[in-house]
Amino acid sequence: MSVDAKQTGIRKKGSKAQPAPKAEDTSEAVSMDEVWIEGGRKLRGSVPVSGSKNATLPILAATLLAPGIYRFTNVPNLKDVSTMLELLSLFGVRSKRDDDHGLFVDSTNARNAEAPYELVKTMRASVYVLGPLLARFGEARVSLPGGCAWGPRPVDLHIKGMQKLGAEVEIEHGYIVARCDKLRGSHISFEISSVGATGNILMAAAVAEGETVIENAACEPEIEALAQFLVSTGVGIDGVGTPRLTIHGARHLHPADAAMIPDRIEAGTFLAAAVITGGDVEATNVEPDHLGAVFGKLEEAGAEVYVGERSVRVRAPDRPQALRVATAPYPGFPTDMQAQFMALLSVAGGTSVITDTIYQDRFTHVAELQRLGADIRVEGNTATVHGVPSLSGAPVMATDLRASAALILAGLVAQKETRVSRIYHLDRGYERIEEKLQGLGAAIRRVRV
């Protein structure tokens, strides 16, 4: 019985791969696509960065708060954005993209409904509708997200925050069921900094009666962007961008337009790609202020970093230098750059130590990097990376969004060919990454196997 590539995922020698259509094709087609990379090219040139996925997702959820029409620009064409718009359509929210990253959203006729497990399990950020549904309709039924590739992803802080605002919250058959006739302002102090919980509580507090104070609020630029958007809809918020937010609940909110901030993680990924290949790359349409910690580590790795108004250029050393890095809430080194830096440091001169203080087990990319010849030891939430002179290309499997980016980076420098499968993970958070890397001289292509 002949087993074709579809079943094994591995092509027979010599058979010709078909060029795959664009990522926005049917999800089935995308799930069988792979990215093939011929390593060894130094990346050179300029690459435009798209709008931020993690700012877009909560801002889209916030359109449930005030009925009306919203116009957004610099919205990235990503699977996760499509998933959020699909989720919102279940609540009667209509949307229409234009062909240059513009997006119209109409929540005039939004009605309450359930955020179903089938959708929420594919994207944890779906839980962002909890606060807006509670705020607008007085009740919400949102599936618990379940775990992700690297372990449990609790939402207890979201739930505790809603309860502090006066909501009754039960967990029924895997769903968060929250009810509250009138949300009331409260003093909420998060024991740990949580991007999602801060965003959810911000949106619920936007229409709560009275004042809400959030202590230890997340300061990520994406949450600052959400707060600024809420202010533009009529919410009074003091301390935007700081760990202490004071929200003055508004009786009436109105729609507003917004331009999405640049995606700092996409930018950081391209800068890391420049360094791992020994290249010279300028990322444009970026907000350099959002990348301070990443610039510091790139310089520590031996790169020259030239910061412009809305761009940054990185010139790589012949070989990256080893370093120690620990992730931390913003403005610390982002956990979403941890996997990419592990790929970079796997070819550095010397031994590096990478600690992820945000997620204890965000290391699913380690086993795949080891297949490419990386020498990595993991103990708890710390990885020790002994830099090797070179990696060797092999078939590898993406396990989550940033792990897939790490495998692409490793493939750019590995000898011969690296084939990354399950790249639907990649399409969740990177817009046309293979085309952008081709533009920098990489020998990379998307193929259907």
Please state the φ and ψ torsions of residue 52, each to the nearest 5 degrees. Answer: -75, 125
Encoded one letter per residue, x for contact with ligand EPZ by CB under 6 A and - for no contact, window 128-157 reads -------------------------xxxxx
Give least dist CB 29 to ligand EPZ, A: 24
**By the rule CB under 6 A, 212 interacts with ligand EPZ:** no
Task: Tell me the sheet residues that pair with 6.
Answer: none
Closest residue to ligand EPZ, Cβ-based? 196
The first and second tokens of residue 33, run together, are 């696509």
**Between residue 325 and residue 354, which ones bind ligand EPZ under the rule CB under 6 A?**
335-336
Residue from 119, 296, 359, 448 in contact with ligand EPZ (CB under 6 A): 359
**By the rule CB under 6 A, 402 interacts with ligand EPZ:** yes
CA-based nearest residue to 76, from 118, 36, 43, 48 = 48
Do the beta carbons of residue 188 and residue 161 sit within 8 Å?
Answer: yes
Residue from 195, 281, 406, 420 in contact with ligand EPZ (CB under 6 A): 195
**By the rule CB under 6 A, 121 interacts with ligand EPZ:** no
Return the number of the residue (149 or 231) whose C-beta is nearest ligand EPZ: 149
Give least dist CB 42 to ligand EPZ, A: 27
**By the rule CB under 6 A, 50 interacts with ligand EPZ:** no
Give least dist CB 196 to ligand EPZ, A: 3
Amino acid identity of residue 283, one-letter, is A
**Between residue 412 and residue 441, which ones bind ligand EPZ under the rule CB under 6 A?**
429
Return the number of the residue (196 or 255) whose C-beta is nearest ligand EPZ: 196
**Between residue 302 and residue 321, which ones bind ligand EPZ under the rule CB under 6 A?**
none
Return the number of the residue (220 or 282) whose C-beta is nearest ligand EPZ: 220
Give least dist CB 359 to ligand EPZ, A: 5
List residues with catalytic annotation. Answer: 148
Give least dist CB 72 to ligand EPZ, A: 16
Do the beta carbons of residue 396 and residue 368 sit within 8 Å?
Answer: yes
**By the rule CB under 6 A, 201 interacts with ligand EPZ:** no
Task: Tell me the sheet residues that pair with 407.
Answer: none
**By the rule CB under 6 A, 194 interacts with ligand EPZ:** yes
Candidates 28-36, 49-57, 114-122, 283-291 — which segment interacts with ligand EPZ by CB under 6 A? Answer: 49-57
Return the number of the residue (97 or 153) whose C-beta is nearest ligand EPZ: 153
- The Cα–Cα gap between 93 and 339 comes to 35
Give least dist CB 156 to ligand EPZ, A: 5
**By the rule CB under 6 A, 59 interacts with ligand EPZ:** no
**By the rule CB under 6 A, 125 interacts with ligand EPZ:** yes
Give least dist CB 401 to ligand EPZ, A: 5
Return the number of the residue (293 or 348) whose C-beta is nearest ligand EPZ: 293
Query: Binding residues for ligand EPZ, how many (CB under 6 A)?
Result: 25
**By the rule CB under 6 A, 158 interacts with ligand EPZ:** yes
Return the number of the residue (39 or 429) whose C-beta is nearest ligand EPZ: 429
Please state the φ and ψ torsions of residue 25, each to the nearest 5 degrees. Answer: -65, -175
Give least dist CB 209 to ligand EPZ, A: 24
Residue from 39, 66, 115, 124 in contact with ligand EPZ (CB under 6 A): 124
- The Cα–Cα gap between 158 and 64 comes to 18
- Tokens 């708890």 found at: 380
Residue ranges in contact with ligand EPZ by CB under 6 A:
53-54, 57, 124-125, 153-158, 192, 194-197, 218, 222, 335-336, 358-359, 401-402, 429
